[in-house]
Structure 1
Amino acid sequence: MSKAPALDDGIHGAASGSAPVPLSVLDAVNVGVGHPSADALRTSVELARLADTRGFHRYWVAEHHSLPSVAASSPAVVLAHLAAHTDRLRLGSGGVMLPNHAPLVVAEQFGTLEALAPGRIDLGLGRAPGTDGATAAALRSTDGRQASGDDFPEQVVELIRFLDDGFPDGHPYQNIHAVPGPVQGTAPGGVQSPHRPPVWLLGSSGFSARLAGILGLPFAFAHHFAPQSTVPALELYRASFEPSAHLDRPYALIGVAALAADTEQQARRQARPIGLMMLGLRSGSPGLLPSPEQAEAHDYSPAEREVVDSWNANTITGTADEVVAGLDDLCKRTGADELMITTYAHSGEVRVRSYELIANAYGFPASLDKQDGPVR
């Protein structure tokens, strides 16, 4: 088997302008009340184009299932569409929930994406199913097994071997090849691609942090869901890190919820609906992302108010300068190498405007030329 080429993984690029670290985008493709999924997907294209031309580093799409509030059940499909509308932006999964899929299928999907957008694809992997147990069982296979994630380390290793065409002699999968992939470069007359999608591990606890360190992979932590665990998880990742053929030192990205608007009052109003949506998720009654008017009119019980206040406390909101100050403080407290912003808002226009304001305040250029090429 051929050895995988050195990865062009895009994790050592310099931050744009005066930014202390690169800024990236995490998109759950949220669907708001009164809007079809098509609107959410059009917003994703608009947002990806903005990120592409303003200097954001990467754009990841999250995988969720059986939730009315998202239209991102198939990240690979969404990413293929975004690749056709962008020129330089790194695109990836944030992430593919590996227990839901056969590793070979994921390797071929992302090998195809890499062929469509050479040198611009990231493969982020998560251990959770991204849904409830019944849906996970329906996704997993026809035998009714639920995706527990217990075999996640084995799945990750298997997927990497498919990406590298690197199963050892005597392995049952020795003669199975993910295509597009390295096997096409070793076939007579074939040409080896200089790239393959770099693998990231995602997590909200110490499990994936330790595994990413042991395997020498970059790590992305969901700070927006588990802020109290961020620093311990990153410390565990760095302490566990062993240099690999793919990465010579730890690289940690953290996801953060943020929303900027022209005034602090506007930002706080537009950020309220996500708290109400989270109440529905926690009560087992998921719905569409509410409007600001619905969030304002809801009669919150003391317990509900506590949940909403907790979520809001973990979301950086305000004017662009206030949001950037919050991002800078978070970066200093965690030592993160990169920040990935996720913005929940009922209106697509509000989401796009938030990223535009943050780009301005972060000192990103007004526009990047196509000749600047893809981020490396």
Structure 2
Amino acid sequence: MKVSVIDQSPVPAGTTPAQALQNSIELARLADRLGYERFWIAEHHALDALASPAPEILIARIGAETKGIRVGSGGILLPHYSALKVAEVFRMLHALYPGRIDLGIGRAPGGTPLDAFAMRAERTREPVSDDFPQRLMELLAFLDSNFPSDHPFKRIRVSPEMPGSPEVWLLGSSLWSASAAAQIGLPYAFAHFIDPEPTRSAIEYYRSHFVTGRAATPRAIIAMGVICADNDEEAERLFTSTRLFRRRVRMGDTRPIVPPEEAIAELGTARDPIVQSEWPRYVVGSPETVRSRLTAVAEQLQLDELMVITVVHDHRARMRSYELLAESFSLEPRPESRAGR
């Protein structure tokens, strides 16, 4: 089974966002060497705990620092941007790293309503709440140069012109996104770590309603939270930082990720909200525990690829988690990346 990485560039308390970005680059080099399939960078705005509001910039740097891993966005939040501009940016990335670029597209705001308002180019009118499908179709048409002959955008040439294009994925955490990906014929990535309740229904709906489009057959990934350590107890200790981070975010508190000792003190005996789902947001434990649980999910959903996200305070522990996970799934290492030569 293929395993991939989605990274939010988490900021550990006591460090800086600049260091968090360097951590992401270091993690990407490691993922490349270990044999992970892809490395996606998330987009978030005005969050002290997450450092990357511009995935495309980090993609360009990571592409240069790695050798074989696919690099992409997880995802570009299309409502904020011109479809043409996104097409140009990712065509440029495709020209630099042909055959290695993924363009994951989402429709979430990635921040507060005020953040979303501040990012709008046009503030003289109310935003159109349902224009995401139109933007998405325009983006695909720009990437493929296939506007209808009578469309005014037919005359626009998207540069740089070269064979092929980025691989486009639709991202989401709802049945709406599953339906859209199926109708348009796009590969689909479901954010189980955001909302685990509709995971099975979303994947099954996507497959059963898929119409051949940009993809010939349905391709689905689910992204799950994972913390892997040498034993279950240490993994659970590391997980306390993640639990507190999620609890704070629910309360509108976006401070950086604290160490386990501080998290344990603040959490006390509080329990996480109960979610009615077949599988937890985060799989936490030793390599044997994590492999067993992830494999069970993949088998039940008939997946050949899983994507994992790891948010902990200690960057070394995060790196170690991905090392242990790669070993447990017997990923095939790649030759040393650019940075390792």
Q: Of 213, 223, 227, which aligns to 1:255?
A: 223
User: Please, which moves more after superposition, 312-321 or 331-340?
Assistant: 312-321
Percentage of pairs with the same residue:
39
For residue 132 of structure 2, what is the aligned residue in structure 1?
A: 152
Q: Of 91, 94, 110, which aligns to 1:111?
A: 91
Distance 1:105 1:284 in 2: 31
Distance 2:163 2:32 in 1: 23
For residue 272 of structure 2, what is the aligned residue in structure 1?
A: 306
For residue 240 of structure 1, what is the aligned residue in structure 2?
A: 209
Displacement after TM superposition at 1:145 (Å): 5.8
For residue 101 of structure 2, what is the aligned residue in structure 1?
A: 121
Distance 1:148 1:314 in 2: 32
Q: Which runs of 5+ in 2 are unaligned?
A: none
For residue 305 of structure 2, what is the aligned residue in structure 1?
A: 338
> CA contact under 8 A between 1:279 and 1:307: conserved in structure 2?
no
* 1:225-260 CA distance string (max 9 Å, x none): 11110000011111210112x322111000000010
Give the AA of the match of 2:232: E
Q: Secondary structure of the equivalent of 1:368?
A: coil
Q: Of 117, 134, 137, which aligns to 2:117?
A: 137
For residue 175 of structure 1, what is the aligned residue in structure 2?
A: 155
Give the AA of the match of 2:165: R
Q: Secondary structure of the equivalent of 1:42?
A: helix
1:368 corresponds to 2:334 = yes
Q: Of 175, 179, 182, which aligns to 1:206?
A: 175
Closer, same or farther: CA 55–145 of 1 in aligned 2, 3 Å: farther
Displacement after TM superposition at 1:306 (Å): 3.2
Displacement after TM superposition at 1:194 (Å): 3.0
Q: Secondary structure of the equivalent of 2:30?
A: helix
* 1:45-91 CA distance string (max 9 Å, x none): 11111111121100000111111111110000010010110011100
For residue 30 of structure 2, what is the aligned residue in structure 1?
A: 50
Displacement after TM superposition at 1:359 (Å): 0.5
For residue 248 of structure 2, what is the aligned residue in structure 1?
A: 280
Closer, same or farther: CA 25–72 of 1 in aligned 2, 3 Å: same
TM-score between both structures, scaled by the size of structure 2:
0.93
Distance 2:267 2:140 in 1: 49
Distance 1:213 1:171 in 2: 25
* 1:84-108 CA distance string (max 9 Å, x none): 1001110011111111111111111
Q: Secondary structure of the equivalent of 1:99?
A: helix
For residue 144 of structure 2, what is the aligned residue in structure 1?
A: 164
Please give the root-mean-square deviation of Cα atoms over the aligned residues, in Å: 2.1
* 1:197-252 CA distance string (max 9 Å, x none): 021101100111111111111000011111110000011111210112x3221110
Displacement after TM superposition at 1:114 (Å): 0.7
Closer, same or farther: CA 287–261 of 1 in aligned 2, 3 Å: same
Displacement after TM superposition at 1:147 (Å): 5.8
TM-score between both structures, scaled by the size of structure 1:
0.85
Distance 2:46 2:185 in 1: 33
For residue 271 of structure 1, what is the aligned residue in structure 2?
A: 239
1:347 corresponds to 2:314 = yes
> CA contact under 8 A between 1:129 and 1:147: conserved in structure 2?
no
Closer, same or farther: CA 359–298 of 1 in aligned 2, 3 Å: same
Distance 1:219 1:130 in 2: 19
Moved over 2 A (4+): 144-149, 299-302, 305-314
Displacement after TM superposition at 1:148 (Å): 6.3
Q: Of 181, 196, 200, which aligns to 1:227?
A: 196
Closer, same or farther: CA 357–299 of 1 in aligned 2, 3 Å: closer
Displacement after TM superposition at 1:310 (Å): 8.9
For residue 59 of structure 2, what is the aligned residue in structure 1?
A: 79
Distance 2:126 2:292 in 1: 43
Closer, same or farther: CA 86–146 of 1 in aligned 2, 3 Å: farther
Distance 2:129 2:303 in 1: 26
Distance 2:276 2:227 in 1: 16
Closer, same or farther: CA 145–262 of 1 in aligned 2, 3 Å: farther
Distance 2:305 2:64 in 1: 25
Displacement after TM superposition at 1:338 (Å): 1.3
Distance 1:89 1:362 in 2: 17
